[in-house]
Amino acid sequence: DTGVSQDPRHKITKRGQNVTFRCDPISEHNRLYWYRQTLGQGPEFLTYFQNEAQLEKSRLLSDRFSAERPKGSFSTLEIQRTEQGDSAMYLCASSTRLAGEEYEQFFGPGTRLTVL
Amino acid sequence: AQSVAQPEDQVNVAEGNPLTVKCTYSVSGNPYLFWYVQYPNRGLQFLLKYITGDNLVKGSYGFEAEFNKSQTSFHLKKPSALVSDSALYFCAVRDGTSNTGKLIFGQGTTLQVKP
């Protein structure tokens, strides 16, 4: 399977604990995005990487959130001191852009986080 | 402000009938528009996109969408619905204020196709 993969698929944690999610994009894609989706809503942008550089962060991304993409390959999203409001589906997507053409984003299956 | 609106929370249609899922948008610059479908406990699956060119865009699984600049709409259509089309559909637009390609999504429309 050459699609976007995410791990874990589900995570249940207690309030105050730290969690880390991983995303493996399609190998030739240099653009990587994290989105958050809550029940009944569309995905909302969290952060963007071009290769290894984190070029944009949403105001939704509080100081408790951090994301990395070392060497421009996989990416991790860490949430420190989780709160119940962090419960959501965290989606990763990747894409590429060549010669000015806009390519669609391919999404992973998501990580569903439940904070008790 | 840039935004996407999907005015219907749910669309019900009988199998074999045509379906339309509505989407309107507000964006600065030329709109880059997308439709995605989401099945339960799954990620989003790309259906089609409009970047430029013909206003009628054809996509996966027999879906098509019509771009209407004057009405700022990008409705999703299919001539004959299948029960298996039942899912959650999202319209999205590329954020025109950013070079990142990030998407702004609508709230989604649940499509229910009944046999």
pLDDT at B16 (0 to 100): 97
Q: Judge whether residue B59 has pLDDT over 90.
A: yes
Answer whether A6's CB lies under 8 Å from A23's CB: yes
Answer whether A76's CB lies under 8 Å from A49's CB: no
Question: How many Å lie between the alpha carbon of A38 and the closest alpha carbon of chain B?
Answer: 10
Q: Judge whether residue A98 has pLDDT over 90.
A: no
Question: What is d(CA A110, CA A113) in angstroms, rounded to the nearest whole number?
Answer: 9
pLDDT averaged over every residue in chain B: 94
Question: What is d(CA A28, CA A73) in angstroms, rounded to the nearest whole number?
Answer: 9
pLDDT at B2 (0 to 100): 87
Percent of chain B with pLDDT over 90: 82
Q: Quick one: pLDDT band at residue A1, thresholds 50, 70, 90? A: low
Residue located via tokens 């402000």? B1
- List, in sequence order, every residue forming a beta bridge with B18; answer none if it has no partner: none
Closest by alpha carbon to A111, among A58, A34, A56? Answer: A34
- Contact list in A for residue B36 (CB cut-off 8 A) is 107
Question: How many Å lie between the alpha carbon of B83 and the closest alpha carbon of chain A?
Answer: 22
Q: Quick one: pLDDT band at residue A76, thresholds 50, 70, 90? A: very high
Q: Quick one: pLDDT band at residue B18, thresholds 50, 70, 90? A: very high
**Residue B100 to residue A109, Cβ atoms within 8 A:** no
**Residue B102 to residue A45, Cβ atoms within 8 A:** yes
How much is the average pLDDT of A21-41?
94
Lowest mean pLDDT among A49-53, A95-99, B60-64: A95-99
pLDDT at B79 (0 to 100): 97
Mutate to test the interface with A, among B3, B45, B48, B102 (most CBs of A within 10 A): B102
SS3 of A47-114: the string is EEEECCEEEEECCCCCCCEEEECHHHCCEEEEECCCCHHHCEEEEEEEECEECCEECCCEECCCEEEE
Q: What angle do CA B44, B31, B27 make, to 5 degrees?
A: 95
Question: What is d(CA B24, CA A67) in angstroms, rounded to the nearest whole number?
Answer: 32
Distance of CA B88 to the CA centre of its chain: 10
How much is the average pLDDT of B69-96?
96
**Residue A102 to residue B94, Cβ atoms within 8 A:** yes
pLDDT averaged over every residue in chain A: 93
Considering only CB atoms, A107 lies closest to which of B44, B51, B107, namely B44
Distance of CA B49 to the CA centre of its chain: 9
pLDDT at A99 (0 to 100): 63
Answer whether A20's CB lies under 8 Å from A44's CB: no
Closest by alpha carbon to A31, among B30, B3, B99, B27? Answer: B99
pLDDT at B3 (0 to 100): 93
pLDDT at A7 (0 to 100): 97
Percent of chain A with pLDDT over 70: 95
pLDDT at A100 (0 to 100): 64
pLDDT at B44 (0 to 100): 93
DSSP B6-66: ---SEEEEETTS-EEE--EEE-SSS--EEEEEE-TT--EEEEEEESSS-SEEE-GGG-EEE
Structure tokens, B90: 């999202």
